[in-house]
Each structure stands twice: as structure tokens, then as C-alpha cells.
Amino acid sequence: MTGTDTLFTNISQLVTPRPGVQRGAAMGDLSVIPDAALLVSDGRIRWVGPRAEAPGTAQEHDLGGVAVVPGLIDPHTHAVWAGNRLADFEARVQGVPYEDILARGGGIRSSMRATGAASVEELVALARPRLQALRTSGATTTEVKSGYGLDFDAEQKMLRAIQALQAEFHLTPTLLIHVPPTEGRTEYVRAVCEELIPEVANTGLAETVDVFCEKEAFTVEETRQIFVAAHANELHFKLHADQFHAIGGTELACELRALSVDHLEASGPAQIAALAASNTVATILPGVTLHLGLPAAPGRALIDAGAAVAVGTDLNPGSSPVFSTQLALALAVRLNRLTPAEALTACTVNAAAALGLGDRAALVPGQRADFLALHSADWRDLAYTLGANPVRSVFVSGSGIQA
Ligand code: NIG
Ligand code: FE
């Protein structure tokens, strides 16, 4: 034992999925250890098991008889933006479609104008409380995308804002190629591939490239070109696809072994089959279903077909103002028909896999000691609770960062 060992005790239930990506029926397979203890050494889990079998240690931390689950991973956010979309919201609830607002130069394009006018420091100040809210709800690792840059400088400004918050919130940065310019899109895609992606890879400002593949955004062929450039520059890639129309993005992403395909509200049997036959994670975003009134992504059908499903907030000003990763988990149970156990797996090991991370999200020896102590002795309150926070304390690398 070293001076940094801590034995966490008085855990009513220690609940965890198996480490690594879980597909199909295995998503519902959790380990639940009653009256458990958890030994942390140098920020990593060294031992878990029944309290009665715990190894002796110098320092003990009594968690007060509540349930412990892994820290949540939020695999899809757009947490950096300036301005707001409150006028869009009012128009939408009175019947104007999201895609029509975008086609008229509003929506995402209005967030681009406001974000383009903000400094890095302003973007950091705007994003920090949003990330704090996700953290308070249980997110111990969060993906954040660029994508509101009108030009390449603005995209890199967003990535610098993410970089400034990276250590504080354990962020994974993604370059999002979001909407094409109204003129010169061929030239734009060429410059993305030949200038922006190599630059971002060289400076280390992003680990992954994402594309919005949709009728109002990029075509499948343009997406393919961008993926090829990401691969050539040794970056991961993932995709926004099938949000409004299934135009072939999911099939392309599975063919090219993307980390994940996200949204899937318009996916049908062909897309479900492609995901089930691939190693690509299907990331569903129930906040979008709630906020835009879209059909729910077929979470139940994806799992039944054998796919690996993850869940994220998609926190953004236009389609999902959901500031709680726990709420995304709880909504996936209601809207996408996941069981509570599947939803926990979706928000932990499968979300980690959607980010290419294998060192966290399961409470087993060797993993990062990122975990949550709930208010409740029964872990299922995590999936049950709507509108209050069932997470009492958040631990990252074994340190309590929120009491
Ligand atoms: O994931 N659909 C594309 N992008 C975002 C929305 C961004 C916005 O509306 O500002 C999404 O839903
Ligand atoms: Fe998104």
C-alpha cells in the first residue's frame, strides 16, 4: 500500500458493466455487488468486491450507504457556442421546421455568426458553466465539438476554447465539419481536406473529425472525401447521420469503420443491419427527440439486432438544450426503450468506445477511478429520476471533485 491508497466503503451496491464495448444482449448484463468496497491506488481502481473481503488499507472513505456507478461519459456535445436560439425555439414550437430555419440562413448559421464574433476567452466563459452542469449530472469525460466556425480561423478558435477547458473537464476535442458555405462548396471541401484537417492534426487541436451528413448539409460523397483525409492524417472519424433523412451516411461510416454514427432518428432496417454488422457504435441522442419532436432513434431495435448503443446529450443551442448527461440516460429509457441496465452501459463503456477510449467507464481493476456516489441506495434511481439530480458526489481519478 502507498500513501495514495483509499478504500471506499459503505457502498450499498457497486454497479458496473463489463469493460470494453458491449453489444446487443450483453448491454443488459451488469455486475451488482451488495455491501461493497472499492480500493483506489494512484487514481486507478486496484480492487473491487464485498466489503468483508476488502484488503486492509491506511485510509478509509465512508460513502454513507449509497450506490456507486461508473462516471458517465458524454460522447456527443456542442458545448461551445455564443448567442442563442430562443427566437428559433419560439418559431419551431409554432410549427416552423428546424430544416426550414436552417435553409433560410438561421439555425446553425445564426450560431455561426454569433460564435464567429466571440473571442476564445468569451467562448471559454460561456462553455464553463455548461460543462460544470454536465459534470454535476455525472459526466466525468465529455466530448466537445467545434462546428460553429464560419471559417477555418473560427473553427480553430473554438478548438482552442475546448483546449483551454480540456484538463478541467476531461474533454475529448472533435473537429466538426457542420454546414457547407452557400457558394463554393467543392472548393470548401477540398480546403477542409487539404488545409484544415492537416493543420488540426499537426497542432493536436482535435482527435476526431465529425461531419453532418444530411440533405441540408454534406453529401455522402463529400463525407467520404473528408473521412479519407481524416484517416490519412491519423485522426478518428465519426458522423452525424440519419437525423432527418437516411441518405447513406450510416452505411458509409460502417464501411469505413467510423468510431460512431450519431443521431439515427430516421434510421430504418438497412441502417440498423449495417450498424449491427459493424464495429461502429450507434450513438443515440434522446434530447433531440424531445426538443425537436423528431421520431425516436430505434434504440431497442438496434440492441435487439446486436448493435452497440451509446447515449449522449448532444448539448447544443438548436436541437438539444439538455444540460444533464444523467437526463439523457433517463430519457433513453423512456424514448428509445432501453432498460435501465442497457442505458447505464450506453452511457459508460459504450460511450467510451464511441470516443476510442478503453481505460475508463467500468469499475474493474486497472481502470481510471472515475465514479459516482448517488443519493440513493438503489442505483436504478439514476435511470428513474427526471428533473432532480440523483448524483451526490463525482470522483475523478479517485478524487472527489463535487461533494
Ligand atoms: O447534433 N444536426 C446537426 N447538428 C447539431 C445541432 C446543432 C444546432 O442546431 O446548433 C445536432 O443536432
Ligand atoms: Fe450533434
Joined together, the cell numbers standing for residue 45 give 481502481
Q: Domain-by-domain residue ranges, the chain?
A: 6-69+360-402, 73-354
Name the pairing type of β-strands 30-41 and 6-17.
antiparallel
Dihedral angle, C-alpha 183, 187, 188, 194, nearest 10 ° = -170
ipTM attached to this prediction? 0.97
* Ligand 1 pocket test target in 81, 92, 316 with most atoms within 8 Å of CB: 316
- For residue 117, give every residue at least 6 positions away whose Cβ sits within 8 Å of its Cβ, in sequence order, or none: 82
What is the model's pLDDT at position 105?
87
- On whether the CB atoms of residues 261 and 239 are closer than 8 A, the answer is yes
* For residue 190, pLDDT beyond 60: yes
pLDDT band at 1 (very low <50, low <70, confident <90, very high): very low
How many Å lie between the centroid of ligand 1 and the Cα of residue 319? Answer: 6
Tell me the per-residue pLDDT of 337-378, one tens digit each, with 9 for 90 and over.
999 999 999 999 999 999 999 999 999 999 999 999 999 999
How many Å lie between the centroid of ligand 1 and the Cα of residue 179? Answer: 10
Percent of the chain with pLDDT over 70: 98
Pocket-forming residues, ligand 1, beta carbon under 6 Å: 78, 107-108, 111, 212, 240, 243, 288, 314, 316-319
Joined together, the cell numbers standing for residue 22 give 458491449
pLDDT band at 150 (very low <50, low <70, confident <90, very high): confident
Q: Which ligand is nearest to the CA of 76?
A: 2
How many Å lie between the centroid of ligand 1 and the Cα of residue 389? Answer: 25
Average pLDDT in the 131-152 region?
A: 97
The pTM score is 0.97
Joined together, the cell numbers standing for residue 140 give 466525468
* For residue 3, pLDDT beyond 60: no
Compute the distance between CA of residue 289 and CA of residue 148 in angstroms, rounded to an integer.
22
CA of residue 19 relative to chain centroid, distance: 17
Dihedral angle, C-alpha 169, 136, 241, 384, nearest 10 ° = 150
- CATH domain 73-354 topology: TIM Barrel (3.20.20)
Q: Is the CATH number of domain 6-69+360-402 2.30.40.10?
A: yes
- Which residue's CA is the closest to the ligand 1 atom numbered 1? 314
Tell me the per-residue pLDDT of 247-304, one tens digit each, with 9 for 90 and over.
999 999 999 999 999 999 999 999 999 999 999 999 999 999 999 999 999 999 999 9
Q: What do you get for the CA distance between the two ends of the chain, in Å?
A: 26
- For residue 312, give every residue at least 6 positions away whose Cβ sits within 8 Å of its Cβ, in sequence order, or none: 74, 75, 76, 77, 143, 262, 283, 284, 285, 325, 328, 351, 354
* For residue 403, pLDDT beyond 80: no
How many Å lie between the centroid of ligand 2 and the Cα of residue 211? Answer: 10
Q: Strand, coil or helix: what is 377?
A: coil
How many Å lie between the centroid of ligand 1 and the Cα of residue 318? Answer: 6
